[in-house]
Each structure stands twice: as structure tokens, then as C-alpha cells.
Amino acid sequence: MTSTKQIEFLKRTFTDDNIFNFMNKLILCIFVFLVAYPLLFVIFASISSGRAVDTGRVTFFPVEPTLAAYGQVAGDMQFWRSYANSVLMTVAGTLYSMAISLTGAYALSRKHVPGSRIFNFLLVFTMWFSAGTVPIFLNLQSLNLLHFGGLIIGFGISAFSIIILRSAYLTIPSELQEAATIDGANEFQNFFLISTPNIKPTIATVWLLYGIGRWNGFFWAMIIITDLQWMPLQVYLRRYIVLRTALLEDFGLHAVTLHSHQTIIYAIIVCSIIPIFIVFPFMQRVFQRGVMEGGLKG
């Protein structure tokens, strides 16, 4: 009797669905570990002693915990100046990009706009074929945009973001817009009071995409910005790594007890991702809703 119950229990436990769910959870846990561990290692290394990091003793937990690296970073005025530059570039650039993207997407979603199909094709065409680094640089040079403001003005829009916003505008019932027009609303009122408030999840999604892109912007900032006063945080990190590595090679500097070259780099990296840590969890639900609404319904 007991063996029969055990067999029935095993049959109920090891069903195809249970095995499938277990394997899914196991694979998901492995991927989460692979993604989370590098980030956790950076955090652990930034609060460990320099000697422990340089000797490879930091793996899954901090070794000889200390905040000396953060103290060293906090005392560098160039770090705070670069941090402020990144904040300014992110806020101003995101507002500028959203203003252009929203108005452009709304115009492209209006069927009565002359040549809207042609403009939509040209917009998508830029996603298929890119001009390349050299033509973009020459274009910025000819427009006198090789400065901090050029990073904001010269990279104002993303074709992908406009397509998402345009698809979201197309999901708004035309009857709603026609009713507003009959009641006396003009295009500006239709845009600000009727259409845009109905796609808030998509706007939040594009806002987040633009913000992360601006904050993490490195390549063009490295090429365009030559003045240390306007250097963003990502370029500051790269410059610090290059200069300190050169000093280590030329003079053979050794790790000190509390902090080292590596721990300071890890501390800068942690400081640079703090804004993303703060914003993204609050925006994740809106982000998912916006992608589904703007991408699938269109």
C-alpha cells in the first residue's frame, strides 16, 4: 500500500509540467547570476581594500571592508564637475529629444499631413542604413557643433523612438480627435490636451531610453569634448583609467592598504550607475507597458 502511494506521489511530482517549470526556473536563476555577479563584484571590490583587490582575494564578499576609495573619489573636484556635466547633458538632452520626438511622431501619425508616407519611409531608412562615423563627424563640424552643446543638439532624436511614439499616437481612436476638432480644438490643443496625455506609458518608455542613452553616452563625447571643464562622467572614467594605467606602467606604483587604482575605478563605476539604480525600478512597470502599447498595438 505504501509503495503504491509513493508511486502516485512520484507521478504527481515528476510530471512534464513540473519538470518543465523546474528547468525554466533553474535556467532563469543561472542567467540572473551571470548578469548580477559582475555588478555585485564591482560593488564588493569598491568597498574592499586595495591590497585585497589587487591580489585577487575578492570573489563573492568584500574583503577588509573600507570606504577609502569613495573618499578618494569624493575629494576629486574633476569627478564632481564631470558628474554635474553628465546630469546637465542628460536632463537637457532628454528634454530636447522628447520635444522633437513627440512633435515629429504626432505629425507623422496624422494621415492628412502632405508627404507623411515619404517622411515615414525616410525615417525608417535611417535605421537600415547609417551614414557612418566620419560623415557624422564632418556634418557636426560643418554645423559648428563640436562642443558640449553639440552633444545635445546634434544627437537629438532616435528613429526607433519616433516610431514607437508614432505607433502609440496611431492607437488613439480617430473619433476622439475628431470630436475635439468639432468642439473647436486646433492641432496644438489636440496634441497637448487630447493625444499626448493618452500615451503616457509610451512617453515614459521613450523618456527612459533617451535618459539612459544620454547618461551612458561615451563615444561621441570622447571625440567632441576636449575641454576638461565640460567632460562628462563616462569620459572622465576612461581618462582616469588611461592615465593611472600609464603611471602604473611607467613608475611601477604599488597598491596601498586602503585603496588602489582598481578600487577607485570600481568606486567611480558604482557612483556612475547610482542614478540608473534609483530611476529604473520605479519606471520598470511603465517601461514594460509602454513597449507593449507602442510596439504591438501599432
Cell representation of residue 144: 559648428
pLDDT tens profile 88-105: 999 999 999 999 999 988
Considering the domain architecture, whether residues 148 and 279 belong to the same structural domain is answered as yes
The domain of 159 spans 78-295
Considering the domain architecture, whether residues 26 and 162 belong to the same structural domain is answered as no
pLDDT at 257 over 70: no
Considering the domain architecture, whether residues 163 and 17 belong to the same structural domain is answered as no
Number of domains in the chain: 2
pLDDT at 52 over 80: no
Considering the domain architecture, whether residues 139 and 272 belong to the same structural domain is answered as yes
Q: Are the C-beta atoms of 232 and 225 separated by less than 8 Å?
A: yes
Model confidence band, residue 16 (pLDDT cutoffs 50, 70, 90): low
Identify whether 57 is part of a domain: no
Other beta carbons within 10 Å of 275: 17
What is the pLDDT, as a whole number, of residue 121? 83
Over residues 155-179, mean pLDDT: 84
* Chain mean pLDDT for the chain: 80
Considering the domain architecture, whether residues 110 and 211 belong to the same structural domain is answered as yes
What is the pLDDT, as a whole number, of residue 253? 53
Q: How many residues does the chain have?
A: 298
CA atoms within 13 A on the CB side of 24: 6
Helices (H), 132-186: 133-142, 148-153, 159-170, 174-182
Other beta carbons within 10 Å of 99: 12
Considering the domain architecture, whether residues 117 and 165 belong to the same structural domain is answered as yes
pLDDT at 106 over 70: yes
Q: How far apart are CA 52 and CA 58, in angstroms?
A: 6
